[in-house]
Structure 1
C-alpha cells in the first residue's frame, strides 16, 4: 500500500513539475527583471483585491461612518469617492513597486500617453478632470435637484467620467462631467432644499384686489406642501387687457422635485374657490368697429 502511495505522489509531482516550470518561465524582461506568468497572475490578483478594498472602504464611509456624524449625503458621496481614488492610486504604486517595476522608467510611456490624450483621449481626460473638480468644489452633489441644458432631475451618482441624473419620468440620463464645468448649471438645492414658485392668474376688473388677496392666502394655508414660513404672498403685478393680473408666490420643500404637481393642485383649488365666491375669471375680448368709407355716387345731371 505504501508503495502504491509513493507511486501516486511520484506521478503527481512528475505532472506538476512541468506546470510549475511553465508558470515560472520568464515571458519578458522589464528593467532587467524577468516577468513570468505567475508574476502576472499575482499582480492581477493584487489589483482586483485593491479595487475590492477601495470599494468596501468607500461604502463603509458613505453608509456607516459619515452618516453617524450627520454628514450631508452629497458630501459623504464626494468624500467616499475621493478616498477610493486615493486608495487606488497609492495601491497601484505599491503593487508595481513590489513587483519590481520602477515607475520612473515609465516616463516614455507617460509621454506617449500624453500625446494620446492630446489627440484621441482629450474628451475622456476632460471629463475625468471635471469629475475630480466636481468632487472637490461640490457645485453639485448626490441628491441635488439640478438643471443643465434641457435636462432637469436629481443627481443619483457622480462617476469618474459622467454624472447620472434621474428625471421625474424615472429616466436616467448620463451627462458628461465637463458639461457641469463648461456650461451653466442651475442647482435648485445647493444651499437649502426649498424653492419659490410663482403662480400667475387674473380676475375681472369688477373684483376687489384686497378680497382676492385675502381669499388666496386663506386657500393656500390649507394646501399640503406649502411652507408656513416664509409665508405665501399675493402680488399685484399689473393691469392686463382683460384682467387684473396677480401672482401667488409661495415656498415649498416637498415639491422641489415636482413643482408642476403643486401648481396643478393650486390651479384646481383656485378655480373651485373663485367659482364658490362668484369671482369672475375673464377671457380675452376684442371689440371690432367697422366703418364704411363708400360714398354714394350721384348720377350726372342732364344738360
Structure 2
C-alpha cells in the first residue's frame, strides 16, 4: 500500500513538473521576444524598417513557440492518440496541429510575398490594379493548396482517403451545390479572362458601382452611395452589364443647357466651348484637350433652344464625374450672365374665353 501511494505521489509530481517546465519554456521565449522588440525600438529609427523587422520578429516568435511545443509534447502519448479514422488514415492531435501549422505558415508566407515582393514586380512591369488583384488572389490560393498537399503527404496522410470524400462531394454538387460550383468556376474565368477587374466602373441594372474585390465565389462592388453589393461571379458571365473601364478609362461627359429664343446661337456655341477650356485651365486639368469639346444644337424646345456640350476627362472617379459637370454649370451660368444670355423657364399662356 505504501509503495502504491508513493508511486501515485511520484506520478503526480512528475506531471506537475512537466507542466511547470512547459510554462517556463513558453515564458522564456516570450521574454526573449520582448527584449529583442525593445532593442529594435532603441536601435532602429526608421519606422518602416522597424515595422518590417518587428513583423519578422513576430514570425520567429510564433514559429519558436510552435516548434517548442511540438518538441516538448512529443514525449507525451496523448498527442498521438487516434481521434477518429478517415479512410485508411488515423486522425491524431499531432496530425491536426501539423495541418493547422502548415496553413498558418502558408498564409503568413503568402501575405509577406504579396506585401513586400509582388508590389515591386507590379511596379517594375507597370501592371494595373486589376492584374495585381487577380495575381494576388491566384497566388494566395495556390500557396495554400500546395501547403495542404505537402503537409498531408509529409505526415503520411493517405490522399486516397479523399476519394470517399470526393464521391460524397460529387453527389452534393449534383443535388445542391450547382450554384456554388458555378460561381467558383466563374470566379476563376473572371481572374484569367478579366471581363471585369478591380477598379473598373460598371453599371448593373442602372446602378453605377466600382469593383472593389473579386473573390472566388462573389464580387464586391461599391455604389456611389458607398453601399456594398455582393454579386455572384456567374452574373458577369451570363448577364448583360456595362463596363465603362473595359478598354478605355476615359469618360465622355455631356452637360445640357437651354437658352431663350432670340439668343445668338453662334455666341452660345462659343461660350460653351470657352467655359470648358477655362475650367480646364483654372481648376480641372483632368479635362482632356484631345478630343476637344464639342457643342451640339439639340432641338427647338417648347420654351428654349437646347444645346449640349461634350467633353472628355482622363479617368473615371466619383469626384471627377460629378464635381466637374457641377463646376462647369457654374461657369456657364457666369458667362451667360456676362453676355446677357438668359436661361428660360417653362411658360404657359392661358387664354380665357368669355361666354357672354
Quickly name the TM-score band, shorter chain normalised. 0.7 to 0.9
**Superposition deviation, residue 73 in structure 1:** 1.8
Match of 1:39 among 95, 107, 120: 95
Flag the structure with larger Rg. Answer: 1
TM-score (norm 1): 0.83
- The whole-number CA distance in structure 1 between the counterparts of 2:245 and 2:100 is 43
**Superposition deviation, residue 241 in structure 1:** 1.6
Matched, 1:267 2:323: no
Match of 2:138 among 82, 86, 95: 82
Matched, 1:230 2:291: yes
Query: Aligned runs of 1:99-178 on 2, under 5 Å?
Result: 99-178=155-234
**Superposition deviation, residue 291 in structure 1:** 5.0
- The whole-number CA distance in structure 2 between the counterparts of 1:175 and 1:107 is 33
Query: For the aligned residues, what is the CA RMSD?
Result: 3.0
Please, which moves more after superposition, 25-34 or 220-229? 25-34
- The whole-number CA distance in structure 2 between the counterparts of 1:18 and 1:74 is 47
Q: For residue 235 of structure 2, give the secondary structure of its aligned residue in structure 1.
A: helix
Match of 2:255 among 199, 204, 209: 199
TM-score (norm 2): 0.71
| Count of aligned pairs | 288
- The whole-number CA distance in structure 2 between the counterparts of 1:222 and 1:178 is 46
Q: Which residue of 2 aligns with 1:248?
A: 309
**Superposition deviation, residue 197 in structure 1:** 0.8
Q: For residue 184 of structure 1, give the secondary structure of its aligned residue in structure 2.
A: coil
Q: Which runs of 4+ in 1 moved over 6 A?
A: none
**Superposition deviation, residue 275 in structure 1:** 1.4
Q: Which residue of 2 aligns with 1:185?
A: 241
Distance 1:151 1:68, change over 3 A: same
Deviations 1:43-71 (A, max 9, x none): 22112212222333333454222222211
Deviations 1:164-192 (A, max 9, x none): 22334444443332332232222222222
Deviations 1:108-142 (A, max 9, x none): 31121123234443333333222212111111112
- The whole-number CA distance in structure 1 between the counterparts of 2:124 and 2:289 is 30
Matched, 1:257 2:313: no
- The whole-number CA distance in structure 2 between the counterparts of 1:61 and 1:152 is 34
Give yes or no for contact 2:89–2:161 (8 Å, CA) kept in 1: no
**Superposition deviation, residue 28 in structure 1:** 3.3
- The whole-number CA distance in structure 2 between the counterparts of 1:267 and 1:87 is 53
Distance 1:43 1:286, change over 3 A: same
Runs of 5+ in structure 2 lacking a partner?
1-9, 19-72
Q: For residue 77 of structure 2, give the secondary structure of its aligned residue in structure 1.
A: helix
Q: Which residue of 1 aligns with 2:339?
A: 277
More helix per residue:
2
**Superposition deviation, residue 290 in structure 1:** 4.8
Give yes or no for contact 1:200–1:248 (8 Å, CA) kept in 2: yes
**Superposition deviation, residue 211 in structure 1:** 1.2
**Superposition deviation, residue 254 in structure 1:** 5.2
Give yes or no for contact 2:86–2:161 (8 Å, CA) kept in 1: no
Runs of 5+ in structure 1 lacking a partner?
1-7, 297-303
- The whole-number CA distance in structure 2 between the counterparts of 1:276 and 1:52 is 64
Match of 1:286 among 348, 351, 355: 348
- The whole-number CA distance in structure 2 between the counterparts of 1:47 and 1:169 is 38
